Structure 1
Amino acid sequence: MQGYNVLMVYSNDLHKVLMCRRLKEPYKGLSNFVGGKIESGESGMEAAYRELLEETGIPREAIVFHHLMDYKYYLQDCYVEVYVGQLKCDVEITGDENDLYWSGLDEDFFDMSLFAGEGNIGHMIEQVKMYEDKIFNVHTDKLHM
């Protein structure tokens, strides 16, 4: 079973999330989180930091990832591990695999004409909102502004 990861990178002020506009199939033209394949012998967490650097130029030292959830697709013989983190500081993002951009959190992430994943992106965003105090150690309403 092939493993993949999805990386939810929040800005250091928690007002934006890093997205990419896909330049190839699947989901060409739609927005998605960055991520990629978990290589054989590699842990999911190792793959998360490797893919983050490869796709965005963001180094491991700039963020701490938390393993949020997994999706297992039996008919596709694959699984997806979802990681979320908050940047420790502003960083420059660079990548040529997809068009990278910062999205505000007021988007309709369930809109499948704009976002990949059949509604999963919206579900992931909502999970982060529900458990933000456990994920980010914040006791304010930053994600609901």
Structure 2
Amino acid sequence: MKKFKSVIIVTVMLLVSLCANAQNGEKRKASREQMIEVQAKHIAQDLALDDKTYNRFTETYIRYKKEMWAMAPKRCKKDRKLSETEEEAAQHMRQRFEQSQKMLDIRDKYYKEFSKFMTQKQIELMYDKERKIMQRLSQRHKNGPHRRK
């Protein structure tokens, strides 16, 4: 009887932990989009944009970041690079160049879009702020969540 109760308790605990992990996965997806929005609002505030420009900027910036993230390179195993043939290595290089060109095309497209309602100095400052935010996030990622203060 005691074993039966123990098995039930362990099963319930397992189910609860699985449900919690599933919910965390949903939160991560939402948090990525929320992060874009927070980043857009933060940059817009730093640029001291008026209300109309602020709204247009955040909408455009969110579209820009989503397109860029959709094009972001997928992480692959480093071991593959050591074992690939010359032909495979050349193919991978061509794919990286194509992807880089697509990302550059997106940046150019949105530069033109931002130029319609922002000054060149504001755009330059926006890219500078974006770079600093990404460096800060990268540094946090390197330090790990347990080391953040």
TM-score bucket of the superposed structures, by smaller chain: under 0.3
Higher strand share: 1
Give the TM-score, by structure 1 length.
0.27
Give the TM-score, by structure 2 length.
0.27
Higher helix share: 2
